[in-house]
Amino acid sequence: MPRGKIELGSVETLSILDCKGTVDEGLMPLLDNKTLLKAYRLMLLGRRLDEQAMRYQRQGRIGTFAPNIGQEAAQVGAGLAMKKEDWFAPSFRELGVWLARGMTIKNYFLGWMGIEDGNSGLKGTANVPVAVPVATQCTYAAGIAWGIKLDKKKAACVVFFGDGATSEGSFHEGINFCGAMNLPAVYFCQNNQWAISTPRKKQTKSETIAQKAIAYGIHGIQVDGNDFFSVYVASIEALKRAYEGKGPTLVEAITYRRSVHTTADDPRVYRSEKEEKEWDEKDPIHRMRSYLEKKKILTKEDNEKLEAVIAAEIKAGYVEAEAYRNSNIDPLSYFDYIYKEIPPYLKWQKEIARHHLKGRNVIKGATEPVKGTGGAAAVGQLEEAED
């Protein structure tokens, strides 16, 4: 075979709203003012909710969590594009999508308080719980998409992940399977430039993440992730492809994590103040507000009133969550949600934890099951110690 070339395709790019609030009218989606204000409200609520949660975390009122500050347009744009029937497979940084799909502020806080009941709103929905292990959701999202296809439903599974997840095997396995089986899936990458302390340039030699779609024979597009309109349009198009049986799409939303990776992180250790300031001008909320003000859809007075309403909603939601936490709930109930039937080793751990909470350490050095006995025997030993 002589030397030759195989044309592998190209990657689309999309940007509609610039940093000064001006749009390309030819690319604008048809959205009424009510929807535009809803989008802005969700973005602002997400920002203020994260900021207040940061204060609560520093005060010890909630646990470690991952703020979404700076990524609101990517999340709300995708979230509002999705139908109720579309499955949502999140990572741990998709507050905007959660809010767009109806999560309450109370349940948001319960989740970061470590109370499993924060997931109570998932029953009967097409939303699955947060996935903390990086990229794992990319594999079971493929399973969900396969189920949608087998059931012949007009829906899709939208899975969210960061740029760091594209270095994990689970991402490649999931997206390859979806491509091979022509499944109704949207792989949505929030490329926020940092995988904790690892910069995007050290994640891959590829010029873009979107071009990885070419290797799997699917459609890929890179959008301005700080532009609500670009994200919304790209998401609508990707979902339409999925509904019509044209297979999965990889969406790369270029954005920036303006805050910490999690509240256990200090980004100033690995990134510069100069870099952070350069992204200030691209802030998604400022851009959206500028557009709405130019179009006289939102006034400064309207925005001030909205800020006050949102602040009150956040406070009320936290009060609800705190009252629930202080009620007679079992703090160890999270053990019961891992398996349908709790296995012996987890039963052992739960009982040991219960005794620690009571201030009674009845098994010396009880940090792991007794060697050679297994979880069931350890529970028996605990019961004997109680007698």
Residues tagged active-site: 257, 261, 270
Task: Please tell me the distance from the alpha carbon of residue 260 to that of residue 80, in angstroms, as a whole number.
Answer: 26
**Using CA of residue 35, residue 39, residue 45, residue 48, what is the dihedral sign?**
negative
CA distances from 333 to 108, 116, 117, 254, 382 (A): 18, 7, 9, 39, 19
Q: Is 65 helix (H, G, I), strand (E, B) or coil?
A: coil
Q: Is 286 helix (H, G, I), strand (E, B) or coil?
A: helix
Task: Please tell me the distance from the alpha carbon of residue 113 to that of residue 60, in angstroms, as a whole number.
Answer: 10
Nearest C-alpha neighbor of 188 from the set 268, 252, 143: 252
Task: Please tell me the distance from the alpha carbon of residue 275 to that of residue 266, in angstroms, as a whole number.
Answer: 15
Task: Please tell me the distance from the alpha carbon of residue 346 to that of residue 36, in angstroms, as a whole number.
Answer: 48
Nearest C-alpha neighbor of 225 from the set 329, 93, 384: 93
DSSP string, 209-261: STTHHHHTTSEEEEEETT-HHHHHHHHHHHHHHHHTT---EEEEEE----S-S
Task: Please tell me the distance from the alpha carbon of residue 125 to that of residue 148, in angstroms, as a whole number.
Answer: 14
- Chain-centroid distance of CA 125 in Å reads 16
219 membership: H or E segment, kind and range: strand 219-224
Task: Please tell me the distance from the alpha carbon of residue 28 to that of residue 115, in angstroms, as a whole number.
Answer: 42
**Using CA of residue 85, residue 236, residue 314, residue 129, what is the dihedral sign?**
positive
CB 43 within 8 A of CB 96: yes
Beta bridge partners of 223: 14, 253
Task: Please tell me the distance from the alpha carbon of residue 123 to that of residue 149, in angstroms, as a whole number.
Answer: 22
Q: Are strands 157-162 and 185-191 parallel, antiparallel or unpaired?
A: parallel
